[in-house]
Structure 1
Amino acid sequence: MTKTKEMEVRAWHLLLEDDAYRLDLPDDFYQTLISRSDELVLREVIDLSEWQQLKDAADAVYAKTLQGLSVCQRDCVDTMSIDLNIDTAQQTASHS
């Protein structure tokens, strides 16, 4: 994987970790994650299977957020533990 791919996937994950954005504007948060995922695949930074992994992570976090907000619970979803299964280390090591 290129350094660009590593940075792009990391940036997407940092957005996923933004609890304030997620809790204050959950619909906008979700749409932004999906839009960024779409952008990455259209720019050929990630492939379709990796796009699906990002979408699945966004779907899961969005569903958990809506569930928590429906019972007036402003939680912190453990997004750090979400493994996107996108290999960012293998190619990076060969470019060092």
Structure 2
Amino acid sequence: MSDDLKPPDLATWQRLYDDRAYWQQSPDAHYLELQRVADDLLGQGAIDLDQWQDLKDKAEQIHRESPAINVAQEVDDPKA
């Protein structure tokens, strides 16, 4: 059996969260992957609902700060 198929853990989520290259290149995919891993962690019982909510909140915050969103807002309102 391959070790490549082990379920995610909190360290997996944190490495993904810290992956700035992925975040900059594809903020939406980065956000969705953070959500997917958090959902998996909750589903496997590795975290509780409060921890899941914390991960979800962190993912939403970093997504709001994503370069693509910031550029779009700047184009929409250059004085912002």
Normalised TM-score (structure 2): 0.74
Deviation at 1:8, TM superposition (A): 1.4
Number of residues paired by the alignment?
Answer: 66
Give the equivalent residue in structure 2 for 1:12. 13
> Where in structure 2 are there 5+ consecutive unaligned residues?
1-7, 76-80
The amino acid across from 1:37 in the alignment is A
Normalised TM-score (structure 1): 0.62
Matches within 5 A, 1:73-88: none
User: Which structure dedicates a bigger proportion of its chain to helix?
Assistant: 2
The amino acid across from 1:53 in the alignment is D
Give the equivalent residue in structure 2 for 1:42. 43
Give the equivalent residue in structure 1 for 2:23. 22
Q: Write the distance in 1 (CA, Å) between the matches of 2:10 and 2:36.
A: 13
- Tell me how large the CA RMSD over aligned residues is: 1.9
Is the alpha carbon distance of 1:60 and 1:26 closer, same or farther for their aligned partners in structure 2, counting shifts above 3 Å? Answer: same
Q: Secondary structure at the match of 1:45?
A: coil
The amino acid across from 2:70 in the alignment is G
Q: Specify the structure having the higher radius of gyration (Cα).
A: 2
The amino acid across from 1:12 in the alignment is W
Question: C-alpha offsets along residues 38-92 of structure 1, whole Å, 9 cap, x if unaligned?
Answer: 00000000000000000000000000115434349xxxxxxxxxxxxxxxxxxxx
